[in-house]
Amino acid sequence: MSIKIVADSSCDLTKEMKDKLGVEIVPLTLQVDDKVYIDDEEIDIQDYLQAMKQSSNLPKTSCPSPQQFMKAYEGKESVFVVTLSSALSGTYNSAVLAKDLFLEEVGEKFIHVFNSVSACVGETLIALRISELAKKNINDWEIVEKVNKYIEEMKTFFLLESLENLSKAGRLHPVIAKIANALSIKPIMGSTDDGHIRLVHKTRGYKRAFQKFIDTIGEEGNNLEEKILGIAHCNCLQRALDFKEEVQKRYNFKDIIIVEMAGLSSTYANDGGLVIAF
């Protein structure tokens, strides 16, 4: 069946995935001090990471406007939209408003907006699932039902090299962040059922945290042989490859994919961060 997948720029994809899935990315806008970045294919991630490192302020992020989403909804295809968790961003609300405005103008057309209750590679897996189901030639509402169930069962976790951006964002007291960094405490965070962030484990030292990150898959996951593991990295491909290798020794996922984070995901994961979803 003919469909279009639209996603915000937290949906991290390889070039091959973009070509294969035909996902249309609606970018967020990022700002570090006075410098503005559009989170699209043209963004220079190395420059962005360096700008974040040099600034004492947290980057500002702006969700896409309804008009940007409306343009992406054009065409005859059924449209499936994947957005950041509504608990973390206004992007979902912008996409829904765009749907309402678009349908007022054009009349009947199928558009469904999914709240990923996740981010980053969690959105990637949802886009892959939509594409997979569409190829089975089932109807639009069956796709919605099955993808909603997939979202309910999906788990998202992340391991940070630095707590600096969490501190700048006000999610962690600066004194606590300084102490944690001095003691080399590495938190493993995860998503809640409604898309908020929770602390899963606190581990001292990156090597221990890395192993605990792998342990968390077994603690929190089930039926892994039926699932795809998505790994997103911020400027640390070798770390992602090492993680994949260790995971393969312990778990039997149906497949494992690795993607590099774009700007929005990098804002919070920061240099060296890993995000996984399954």
- Quote the pLDDT of residue 230: 98
DSSP assignment of 33-58, as one string? TTEEEE-STT--HHHHHHHHHH-SSP
| Residues 4-61 pLDDT 10s | 999 999 999 999 998 899 999 999 999 999 999 999 999 999 999 999 999 988 889 9
According to DSSP, the β-strands at 274-277 and 255-260 are: unpaired
- All structural domains of the chain, each given as residue ranges with its CATH number in brackets, are 3-28+63-152 (3.40.50.10440), 156-277 (3.30.1180.10)
Instruction: Please state, rounded to an integer, the average pLDDT across all residues of the chain.
Output: 93
Which tens digits make up the pLDDT trace of 182-209?
778 888 989 999 998 888 998 988 999 9
Tokens of 130: 């939509």
Contact 109, 80 (CB under 8 A): no
Average pLDDT over residues 65-77: 97
Question: What is the tens place of the pLDDT at every residue in 228-272?
Answer: 999 999 999 999 999 999 999 999 999 999 999 999 999 989 999
pLDDT at 167: 66
DSSP β-ladder status, 24-26 and 3-8: parallel
Radius of gyration of the chain (CA): 18
For 157, the 3-state DSSP assignment is strand
Burial class (CB in 10 A: 0-12, 13-18, 19+), 112: middle
pTM of the model: 0.94
pLDDT at 168 over 70: no
* Selection from 184, 186, 198, 114 nearest residue 156 by Cα: 198
The token pair that represents 104 in the structure block: 């007022």
